[in-house]
Structure 1
Amino acid sequence: MTYRITYDVDAGPQAGQFLILLDWGVLTQEEFRSAERASNARGMDFEQVLMKEYAVPKQILLAALTEYYRCPSIEYDERMPVPDELLSGLDGERLSLNQWFPVIRDRNTVIIAARDPQNPVLFDEVRQTIKAERYEFRVALDEDIQWFIQDYLHAKPGALIGTERTGLAYCRNTMAHWRTRLACYRNDLAEGRTDLAFLRWGLGFVALADVLLRSQTDGMAWAYWTLSVAGTVLGSFGLQGYLKVRRTRMKAPGQHTLVEVTAATLQFLENYHDLDQCSIERTTKGTMLARLGDCVGGYSTILYPSPASRERTHLARERNVLAAQRTIAAAYRTIYARARTGLAFIRTGVAFTGLGFGLMHYFSYSWSTAFDVLLIVAGIFMALDGLLWYLPVRKEQAEVARCTV
């Protein structure tokens, strides 16, 4: 390879590929010699020294290699969908040693990222490893090739599309999506309990007005009508809001939404968490949600992949374990919110049923007894409706794993 200007630089094989940087004025001759000495003394790639100690941009280095090898360059991109058939049977250690990786299949052509695309031994190895009609070599930095190897060969072919961190991010976003749905579910349950409070106040006001009327208290007609009107308005408002929530949220999350949530979480844990070596003893066996809770300990640990990856991948796995724990906790909170809503209805129903019987017994039978019967019937319906909210999630609630903290 020739350059426009001849410099008094005795460059080795690695550094010689970047002599054009002197032509471009990126480095001085002294900086170039100093970088090569540092590379030899520390056992580092020359390009790594240039990037880390001399702040030479990666794009400049790739441009120099493109000029040197007379071929296009390629960079590592974790979003690149490497086909499964290119990954099958690859030996990561051998690829790392020889510095190449298959990245793209374009019909009958396979594009190879290689540190030395003019190496004839490399071409023979690629041809023996990957079957294709044509091969196109593109020069890449060794760091990028190592990233391709580390990320794309972690999982079995077909398990993840793209890099491991991309797959982890997909699982994390999926779990975040489910937590958002569960949060919406809990908000509707809270709205239902709020409407129940309005209904309870309304029936209470009407019951109090009935007591005033039947007590024949002088001068309290205004209080009777005020309480009757206020109770009717509050009760109607609460009943309307509750029926709206009931029509949309009556399906038990333990049978529908929670199954989908836990399935997505369990899929992640099966791929990235050692379920056979849980740090806590599994004591619950009844439901999928309870078993899933047993599979994640009360703490998070960095899960080291094999082969070893970089700290960013470690942290991505850590975030996913935390996301799995939050998803499980969100499912538990949803179960308790539904159970709490059901118990609130049961409690209110029992209270109004008792109030109806009490009024009937105290005032004996009269034309106002019809209101007492109405209270009793309303209380019974509220208690039964509360059971419909509570019983479907009772099994999950009973199997919830207790915190060890």
Structure 2
Amino acid sequence: MELQGLNKYEALTALSECYGCPWIEYDEQITAPLLLLLRLDLEELKKEGWFPRRIENGRADVIASAPSPELAQRIKNLLGCEAVDFQVTLPDDLYRIIENNQDINPGFPPSAGRTPLAKVRTYLAERRSLFARYRTLLAKARTGLAFVRTGFAFITISLLFVRILGTGYLLLLEVPLLVAGTVMLCDGLRWYFPVRKIYAGLPVCATTEPTGGTSVLEVYNENEAPFFKRTGVVLGAAELRAGWSSLSPVMRRRYLASDRTDFAEERTLLACFRTKMAMARTGLAFTRSGLAFLSLGFGLVRHFHASRWLPFDLGLIVIGGLMAIEGFFWYFHGGRQAGVEGLISVKKKFSMSSIWDSFFPHQHPLPTGTDEQARPLPVKSSYAPGVWATTG
């Protein structure tokens, strides 16, 4: 049917007369029962051009862009009803009705709904919890290394007493120091070595580069090893968001849900960087311990020169050197790079426009290229006192 040159209501009236049924336009209040929607593929309904509002007493109320007997028969077979009452609407309005029931803004994929985005945020929260567990283990390893240093100090002091003061009744002091140092050394290493194995299990610190709510973060491979990918930029999404003050509260909440998901991804990325840097700190703690033993070994060799204790002194030097190398490996193998990338990420975020630019354009700088004219705040003097915010 030719509708060019007609305004919206003229077009709806013409469609109503053509198909012999009442017309309806898009409204956020047009929804269908959840149990009915669960039986249907809303993406298929977009292609077929219809949407069911309700089923009562064997009759289905259906919104369609092109009602026909064939479509009515298909709906009867699909919904198991006896009759179909059509309401006609424009194709664009039908799309918006279906998208509204998918809880998405115009043009966005189904994954942009608040429920799918909440699922993505849950997986991101689980990833951050994993990083937190890793950091706890690394803190335990650093505590163990402190125990190792203390144990070595006790052992060294006891052996120095033996070398300088001899044995005799001083064994009452030297032996407990030696035993205590050995116990602390073994216990500290017992805390450290299991943590060393987690390095290979750390996920890669990767981001999908948020686009300010114009694309959608999705999760894949949920049952095994979840990973995240971002859709392409949705056509018209930036222009739609630029008119923030004209958006309905529901549409704003959808954008805010997307923003929260982007922030959750950013927090997860920074948590990954913190975990890598925690590994670097653990390595540097190992390096400090190694350098301490290395220095002690050289000091003993220089002071006592060649003696029957020389193997012990050289052992301190060798062990200290190996510990220093091990610690530097942890630092340079990912830890230092994580610090550099984390700093770049933070600087990049500071250079981007903030979510508050949409709320309070009078108080925050507008993104480059945005209309500089002041937009009215979406609050009124009649509102109740309190902190203004948007739920969702």
Distance (whole Å) between structure 1 residues aligned to residue 196 and residue 72 of structure 2: 59
1:258 equivalent among 195, 204, 222: 204
- TM-score, structure 2 normalization: 0.59
1:401 equivalent among 337, 343, 347: 343
Distance 1:192 1:81, change over 3 A: farther
Q: Deviations over 1:268-297 (max 9, x none)?
A: x3694569xxxxxxxxxxxxxxxx9xxxxx
Q: Deviations over 1:279-326 (max 9, x none)?
A: xxxxxxxxxxxxx9xxxxxxxxx9689986444434423432331232
Distance (whole Å) between structure 2 residues aligned to residue 212 and residue 180 of structure 1: 48
Distance (whole Å) between structure 2 residues aligned to residue 118 and residue 190 of structure 1: 63
The code of the aligned residue for 1:339 comes to A
1:86 equivalent among 31, 34, 44: 44
* Aligned-residue identity in percent: 30
The code of the aligned residue for 2:329 comes to L
Following superposition, the deviation at residue 383 of structure 1 comes to: 1.2
* Equivalence for 1:170: 119
Distance 1:351 1:273, change over 3 A: farther
Distance 1:119 1:131, change over 3 A: closer
* Equivalence for 1:375: 316
- TM-score, structure 1 normalization: 0.57
Distance (whole Å) between structure 1 residues aligned to residue 278 and residue 37 of structure 2: 40
SS of 2:272's partner is helix
Is the aligned partner of 1:337 residue 2:278? Answer: yes
* Equivalence for 1:75: 33
8 Å Cα contact 1:252/1:389 also seen in 2:
no
Distance 1:85 1:322, change over 3 A: closer
Distance (whole Å) between structure 1 residues aligned to residue 299 and residue 157 of structure 2: 13
Distance 1:307 1:113, change over 3 A: farther
Distance 1:335 1:210, change over 3 A: same
Distance (whole Å) between structure 1 residues aligned to residue 118 and residue 65 of structure 2: 35
Distance (whole Å) between structure 2 residues aligned to residue 241 and residue 88 of structure 1: 59
8 Å Cα contact 1:303/1:317 also seen in 2:
no
Give the number of equivalent residue pairs.
285
* Equivalence for 2:144: 195
The code of the aligned residue for 1:233 comes to V
Following superposition, the deviation at residue 382 of structure 1 comes to: 1.0
Structure 1 segments, 4+ long, off by >6 Å, are: 115-121, 126-131, 155-158, 302-307
The equivalences for 1:3-402 within 5 A come to 74-76=32-34, 80=38, 82-83=40-41, 85-89=43-47, 101=51, 112-113=52-53, 122=64, 124-125=66-67, 132=74, 134-136=77-79, 148-152=98-102, 154=104, 159-160=109-110, 164-216=113-165, 220-247=170-197, 249-251=198-200, 253=202, 257-259=203-205, 262=206, 266=208, 269=210, 272-273=213-214, 309-393=250-334, 394-401=336-343
* Equivalence for 1:107: none
Distance 1:396 1:128, change over 3 A: farther
The code of the aligned residue for 1:189 comes to L
Following superposition, the deviation at residue 204 of structure 1 comes to: 1.0
Where do 5+ consecutive residues of structure 2 fail to align? 1-26, 86-94, 217-229, 231-239, 351-392
Following superposition, the deviation at residue 128 of structure 1 comes to: 8.0
Following superposition, the deviation at residue 388 of structure 1 comes to: 2.6
Distance 1:385 1:78, change over 3 A: farther
8 Å Cα contact 1:150/1:307 also seen in 2:
no
Distance 1:274 1:210, change over 3 A: same
Which of the pair has more CA radius of gyration? 1
Where do 5+ consecutive residues of structure 1 fail to align? 1-44, 49-72, 92-99, 102-111, 140-144, 276-291, 293-301
The code of the aligned residue for 2:306 comes to Y
8 Å Cα contact 2:42/2:98 also seen in 1:
no
Distance 1:86 1:131, change over 3 A: farther
Distance (whole Å) between structure 1 residues aligned to residue 36 and residue 264 of structure 2: 22
Distance (whole Å) between structure 2 residues aligned to residue 151 and residue 386 of structure 1: 56
* Equivalence for 1:285: none
